Amino acid sequence: MNGMKYIGRALFLALLALGSFFATYNLLTMMIHNNTRLEKMGSNDLDGMSLPTSFDPIIQMPENHKALSKERLLFHVALTATDAPYSKWQCRIMYYWYKKMKDMPESDMGGFTRILHSGSPDELMDEIPTFVANPLPKGLDKGYIVLNRPWAFVQWLEKAKINEEYILMAEPDHILVNPLPNLGQNGYPAAFPFFYIRPDENKQIIRKYYPEEKGPVTDVDPIGNSPVIIKKSLLEKIAPTWMNVSLRMKNDTETDKAFGWVLEMYAYAVASALHGVQHILRKDFMLQPPWDLDIGKKYIIHYTYGCDYSLNGELTYGKIGEWRFDKRSYLRGPPPKNLTMPPPGVPESVVCYNYLTC
């Protein structure tokens, strides 16, 4: 795999996922115990399935797309972050691998910005290019700190000088494992489809924010804001709407209960649809251990899920394993550099990100 030869020592990682992301592990367990529903969704809807390297990565194109241009356009890498230790270590690792991959063949990465929405500079300012954004007024996020993300992007887009025409919205718990080209083409943004973002199964709620006169609910893509590669001019239009829809959703009891920790992801998808923006859905954009087993030609490892295995290399699902790696185990600082490697039989994706983050 391209870039893996650089994978050696480096990175002691992991941690930024705000208190609201603790629910992620519960989602993981729910997935496993809901096999019937997953089977009905079909392979195109699942980002957690191992796929052969010859698979077609594009699972959905915008309805009015033209033939994709082969013109290569640089994109700016932007990730939002807090000043918590959990976030800082993940940002350092993400930035490390950005620098490793940036100038490799096939990479279209340009500049990099950590959008720090804690309101004050921190000690990483000299290490990582950083824009300091103000958080929402106290109490407005109702404890859901992720609501600061769209507001931070609004500020950055208004005040920062961004030389690239495209932007990659990334997160601290992303690791680049292959050189990333610009997957957005001819003005269309590219996004990763999440199996748990289901506008079609939440029509009644979606209609509160995307009325019938705007079009069918299927106009709302099954995505979040990250990873997304999008034209800067489009994001400048979408970001304020994304912020407003996020706040409206959080203040609606029914929506807040239904969407939970992925509410802000739905808000981005709805905001994009309100502006008539459809995304190219790329299942090779990202992989998520332990559900995605191989790396192949995929570009980003998202280590949001805890990985628990027996010493025989068997995944123990929501049960703490004899061997485990979970970024939430390191809320106060990075993992040690001498982490025990996974036992034999553990998938390549888990071995890789365990190696890359320590």
pLDDT(297) > 90? yes
pLDDT, one tens digit per residue, over 253-292 is 999 999 999 999 999 999 999 999 999 999 999 999 999 9
Does the domain spanning 75-281 belong to CATH 3.90.550.10? Answer: yes
- Preceding omega of 290 cis (within 30 degrees of 0): yes
Q: What is the pLDDT of residues 148-194, one digit of tens each?
A: 999 999 999 999 999 999 999 999 999 999 999 999 988 899 999 99
And the tokens for 54?
A: 């010859």
Q: Which two tokens stand for residue 301?
A: 């490892």
Weakest-pLDDT range from 212-221, 284-293, 331-340:
331-340
Burial 139-160 (b: 16+ CB within 10 A, else e): eebeebbbbbbbbbbbbbbeee
pLDDT digits (tens, 9 = 90+) for 223-263: 999 999 999 999 999 999 999 999 999 999 999 999 999 99
Q: Retrieve residue 176's tokens.
A: 């680049």
Confidence of residue 59 (pLDDT cuts 50, 70, 90): confident
State residue 66's pLDDT score. Answer: 53
Ranges of each domain in the chain: 75-281, 305-355
Alpha-carbon 153 to chain mean position = 15
**Contacts with 112 (C-beta within 8 Å, 6 or more apart), sequence order:** 76, 77, 78, 95, 98, 102, 128, 129
Q: Any idea how long the chain is?
A: 358
**Residue 76 and residue 110 in contact, taking contact as beta carbons nearer than 8 Å:** yes
Which tens digit of pLDDT belongs to each residue from 66-113? 555 556 799 999 999 999 999 999 999 999 999 999 999 999 999 999
Residues contacting residue 144 through CB under 8 Å, at least 6 positions apart: 20, 250, 261, 263, 264
